Amino acid sequence: MRVFIAGASGLVGSNCMRHFSEQGWEVKGSYFSFPTENTVFYNTLEPAHPDNFDVAGWRPDVIVHCGALTHVDYCETHEEESYQKTVESTRNLLELAKRTTARFVYISTDYVFDGKAGPYTEDAPVNPLSVYARHKLEAEQMALNEPVNALVLRITNVYGDEVRGKNFIARIIDQCKNNQKLTLKLPYDQFATPTNAWDIARAMCVLLRDGKSGVYHICSSDFMNRVELALRVLEYFPQASYELIPVDTASLQQPAKRPLIGGFVKLKFASEYPDFLFGTVDSYLSKTVTT
């Protein structure tokens, strides 16, 4: 299997690159603004950029789109940029997939739902609340409507190992290890299914191996709000100094609306891979904090 990963310097992309390589697949991963080890430059918004890696010449079997503008509030006030980096980038990579006859994988989100009736199965009706969410839904529907045997993975609250340590859990761990006092003002009414990026890579691998397509929800068995998630991490740092302020989402006055009861039920994936075991926040922390 030969796989090109756009956005391989990020959390999901880097874990995919590492896991696929360990499976013996040929992998090329790209970066745009943040180069990491063994990644190549590729600008998804400018396919003809002279410095772009020659994806077409490399002839991938699969193109995975992990690049994204994920700052939800920023997207709300920068709609054009959000459209370009989410929808236009997807359109360009889909054209590349069609030209190279490659399969296509798109990474989506539980924000395509309105958060009134989660956690959600794959067949639940979508109703995006924000600019970011609308653009993610437009991009995933575009992928599903193209003849590229598209695989759409919806994920949320992703954590795990990454070079920059930008994810929520990683930031708390870093501050605790550096003996910094934490001030956490977190919503108690936002629920989701936090999932390790390593498990997302593992799940994507078996789906690609078996030629699967369509929409799959990928998640752990954890289902918790942001306050509970922070406290779960802090349990592993009994000496940590922190102030935790639980609030409701409305009081945060964020520009973009959030789906409150979000997250997933991975009904489709679980029915097809009943023996696949996902990790949990605790299993990740017990390994990470002690190493």
Tens of pLDDT, residues 120-167: 999 999 999 999 999 999 999 999 999 999 999 999 999 999 998 889
Same domain, 119 and 231: no
Range of the domain at 170: 165-191+223-262+279-288
Residue 200 shares a structural domain with residue 176: no
Sequence-separated (6 or more) residues with CB below 8 Å from residue 237: 173, 176, 177, 289
Per-residue pLDDT tens listing for the chain (291 residues): 999 999 999 999 999 999 999 999 999 999 998 999 999 999 999 999 999 999 999 999 999 999 989 999 999 999 999 999 999 999 999 999 999 999 999 999 999 999 999 999 999 999 999 999 999 999 999 999 999 999 999 999 999 999 988 899 999 999 999 999 999 999 999 999 999 999 999 999 999 999 999 999 999 999 999 999 999 999 999 999 999 999 999 999 999 999 999 999 999 999 999 999 999 999 999 998 876
Centroid of chain to Cα 138: 16
Whether residue 268 is contained in a domain is answered as no
Q: Can you give the CATH number for the domain in which 239 is found?
A: 3.90.25.10
Longest dimension (CA), the chain: 56
Type of residue at 52: N
43 in any annotated domain: yes
Domain co-membership, 148 together with 179:
no
Is the CB of residue 275 less than 8 Å from the CB of residue 133? no
Q: Examine the domain organization and report whether 211 and 238 are in the same domain.
A: no
pLDDT tens track for 75-97: 999 999 999 999 999 999 999 99
> Is residue 270, in this structure, part of any structural domain at all?
no
Whether 118 and 154 map to the same domain: the answer is: yes
279 close to 159: Cβ distance less than 8 angstroms: no
Residues 55 and 140 in one domain: yes
Q: Is residue 269 part of a domain?
A: no
Number of domain units in the chain: 2
Q: Assign residue 32 a region: left if phi > 0, alpha if psi is -120 to 50, beta otherwise?
A: alpha
Same domain, 180 and 283: yes
Nearest alpha-carbon partner for 151 in 210, 198, 100, 111 = 210
